[in-house]
Amino acid sequence: MRSSAGTAVAPSVAPAPTCTRLVHSPMRRHAIVWPVSLARRAPLDRRSTAAARRTATPARRALGWLIVAPTVLLAGCGGGTTVSPTPAVTVDSAAPSSSADTGSSGAAQPARRRIVLLDPGHNGGNAANPAQINKMVPDGRKGTKPCNTTGTATSDGFSEHEFNWDVAVRVADVLESNGVTVVMTRKNDTGVGPCVDIRGEMAEKVNADAAVSIHADGAAPAGKGFHVAYSSPPLTASQGQPSISLATALRDSMRGLLPSTYLGKAGLLPRADLAGLNLSKRPTALIECANMRNPDEAIALDNSIGQQRYANAIAAGILAWLGKH
């Protein structure tokens, strides 16, 4: 997304000797669910096409380690900067839902599996289909805006849509390993759309407990830091305190990363112009992980270790929120 946030490089922190980190397991099979209109039982495209083509040079990999490795240690280790969720936050220990009400026999019914909608912003085919992404759609506040955009990119061409997809898949891995059913708004990084109004309405259609849209910003190069946006003023009850608490949980899970130096306050930003937030009828937040135009943050973004660090933090925030709602 253009003009939002990023994550600054945290100072080097020595890992605790007995730290516990969330683990990304690319070989594990997942029960990720796709909306029927999008997926039709299509397999998960685990890597974007661009990522499969790109080969990092030894110098770039070394530089990526210098920038990212200290923050990766923060993702699961260290005192006050840990972002690992409480291990007990699983499908069965999360807050009860309406499906857990007792029936006529008085026997308690099994709690339903928690559902989270992940929305990787933009899409890899958007740039080649301007007519489709430029058509106007409802913005949720009696106005209209373009169906979608191409997103931003780093100065050397690493695209936001690719980053969003890579991180979303990693977040899905962690959530699924904690017993959460994940639904994605798109099935790969090569398609077009879906439009922002469809993304916003999807959480209710799939009966999601929460929805999180994943982005990176394209602001002035001097800007650093992440921020989490929520719809304001709220248009529905779920856009009020439920969405604010979700945004806050995501903000808190990003400890060890710098809150935005150019947007929002303390890592949070109320917004009225995002259709995906305005049209949602479930608790929803949008996270701008980093500023792709900042040279330091660009290295962390275009690096599998950095991407996993962001994913761990986002998943930790979602799990923490589910454990309380």
- CA angle at 166 for the pair 162 and 167, rounded to the nearest 5°: 120
Alpha-carbon span 64 to 198, nearest angstrom? 36
Q: Quickly state the pLDDT bin for 111 (edges 50, 70, 90).
A: low
pLDDT of residue 282 exceeding 90, the answer is yes
pLDDT of residue 220 exceeding 80, the answer is yes
Q: What is the pTM of this model?
A: 0.74
Q: What is the mean pLDDT of residues 214-228?
A: 97
CATH number at residue 265: 3.40.630.40
pLDDT of residue 287 exceeding 70, the answer is yes
Alpha-carbon span 270 to 283, nearest angstrom? 14
Query: DSSP string spanning 203-261?
Result: HHHTT-SEEEEEEEE---TT---BEEEEESS-SSGGGTHHHHHHHHHHHHHTTTSPBPS
Asked if the bond preceding 35 is cis, omega within 30° of 0, the reply is: no
Residue 10 is assigned to a structural domain of this protein: no
pLDDT tens, position by position, 77-104: 333 333 333 333 333 333 434 333 333 4
Residue 21 is assigned to a structural domain of this protein: no
Domain count along the chain: 1
Do residues 291 and 216 lie in contact, with contact meaning Cβ atoms separated by under 8 Å?
A: yes
The share of the chain scoring above pLDDT 70, in percent, equals 66
What angle, 0 to 180 degrees and rounded to 10, lies between the N-to-C axes of helices 58-76 and 304-322?
20
Residue 140 is assigned to a structural domain of this protein: yes
Residue 181 is assigned to a structural domain of this protein: yes
Q: What's the chain's average pLDDT?
A: 78
Q: For position 177, what pLDDT does the model report?
A: 97
Residue 214 is assigned to a structural domain of this protein: yes
pLDDT of residue 62 exceeding 80, the answer is no
Residue 102 is assigned to a structural domain of this protein: no
pLDDT tens, position by position, 231-264: 999 999 999 999 999 999 999 999 889 999 999 9
Residue 226 is assigned to a structural domain of this protein: yes
Query: Is 297 a catalytic site residue?
Result: no
The share of the chain scoring above pLDDT 90, in percent, equals 65
Q: For position 86, what pLDDT does the model report?
A: 32
Q: Lowest-pLDDT range, 33-37, 192-196, 289-293?
A: 33-37
Q: What is the mean pLDDT of residues 125-131?
A: 98
pLDDT tens, position by position, 5-42: 333 333 333 333 333 333 333 333 334 454 434 433 34
Q: Quickly state the pLDDT bin for 290 (edges 50, 70, 90).
A: very high
Q: For position 145, what pLDDT does the model report?
A: 97
Q: For position 33, what pLDDT does the model report?
A: 52
pLDDT of residue 288 exceeding 90, the answer is yes
Residue 125 is assigned to a structural domain of this protein: yes
pLDDT of residue 154 exceeding 80, the answer is yes
Alpha-carbon span 193 to 210, nearest angstrom? 21
- Which of the residues 162, 176, 288, 297 is marked catalytic? 288
pLDDT of residue 294 exceeding 60, the answer is yes
Domain residue limits at 186: 49-96+111-322
pLDDT tens, position by position, 159-191: 999 999 999 999 999 999 999 999 999 999 999
Q: What is the mean pLDDT of residues 274-280?
A: 98
Q: Name residue 217's beta-bridge partners.
A: 291
